[in-house]
Amino acid sequence: MSRQKVLELKELSHIYVNASGAHLAVDHIDLTVYKGEFISLVGPSGCGKTTILNMIAGLIAPTYGELTMLGEAITSPSSRLGYMQQQDYLYPWRTILQNVMLGLEIRKEANAQSKQKIISLLDELGLEQSADKYPHQLSGGMRQRVALARTLIIDPDLLLLDEPFSALDLHIKMQLEELVQSTLDRLGKTAILVTHDLAEAVAISDRVVVLGRNPGHIRKIVTIPRELRAAGPIEARKHPSYQACFDEIWYELDEEMERGGKGCRIT
């Protein structure tokens, strides 16, 4: 395999310490993500999905283990990384254009061409004529697309998607999945998606990482057949091999729920 490794997690562990004690949240995660891959993390609540994402984002430091992106250790938020949250968190006091400009301004990369670049990116994402509007004038789906533009404008190598579709209506949600997947494919971006929605994970990903809880650990990594990935999220849901994949992951999660986790708490 000559594929380029974008992200490597080696024996990654994290312990939260607070007034009520120390708590092992994530235990020995090993995962390698290659360029252009779309990875989903699924699992019950308390399985450390968000902790893993925050470590990759450089927001919290791993307690043990190694975490490297394109060969370099991640210690703080990196310019090669984009992050989409559950809600759009557009700044209500900024216009759409100014919202998308934010990352460039913070990095002092804004220049004369930025405005044109943003407008053409907004056009590509189906947001024509909205550059001068304020966030409250847009619908939820449009706002989340602006959030995608805000993430893409700084040209990150890796996108972290923390349930960005979960607050949307089903129809809008599937359209946005389609848009995100095709846009990332076109730009050759790598993505890690955290989701509660198994159907979404199967329809959009190359590989689905099933996590167990207490502490968070990898139960199984399911590779989605190429034909499903190639079909796109909406078509994939109708594909003959879709149900088998879905059932496999469903079974894993069922097992996890019944077993109720490892039950490891260090206090």
Partner 1 sequence: MSNNMIAPLTTLHKQYKDRMRRKSMLVLLTQMILLVGFIAIWEWSSKARIVDPLIFSSPSKIANHLYTSLLDGSILPHIGITVAETIAGFLLGTLLGTLIAALLWWFPFVARVFDPFLVVLNSMPKVALGPLLIVGLGPGFGSIVAITLLVTVIITTINIYNRFRETEEGLLKVATIFGATRFQTFYYVILPAAFPVIISTLKVNVGLAWIGVIVGEFLVARVGLGYLIIYGFQVFNFTLVLSTLVVIAFVATFMYQAVSFLERKVTSGWKDR
Q: Which residues bind partner 1 (CB under 8 A)?
A: 57, 59, 76-79, 81-83, 85-87, 89, 91-95, 102-103, 105-107, 134-136, 150, 154
DSSP 156: -
From the CB of 85, what's the least distance to partner 1, in Å? Answer: 5
From the CB of 258, what's the least distance to partner 1, in Å? Answer: 34
Query: What is each CA distance from 249 to 40, 48, 141, 160, 224, in whole angstroms?
Result: 12, 18, 28, 21, 11
Contacts of 186 (CB under 8 A, 6+ apart): none
Angle of helix 96-106 versus helix 114-124 axis, rounded to 10: 130
Closer to partner 1 by Cβ: residue 117 or 220:
117
From the CB of 93, what's the least distance to partner 1, in Å? Answer: 5
From the CB of 89, what's the least distance to partner 1, in Å? Answer: 4
Closest by alpha carbon to 147, among 121, 182, 181, 186?
121
DSSP 196: S
Closer to partner 1 by Cβ: residue 81 or 253:
81
Closer to partner 1 by Cβ: residue 102 or 199:
102
Q: Are 49 and 43 in contact (CB under 8 A)?
A: yes
Closer to partner 1 by Cβ: residue 167 or 231:
167
From the CB of 81, what's the least distance to partner 1, in Å? Answer: 7
Angstrom distance (rounded) from CA 42 to CA 200: 10
Closer to partner 1 by Cβ: residue 134 or 250:
134
Residue owning tokens 């470590």: 55
Segment (H or E) for 1: none
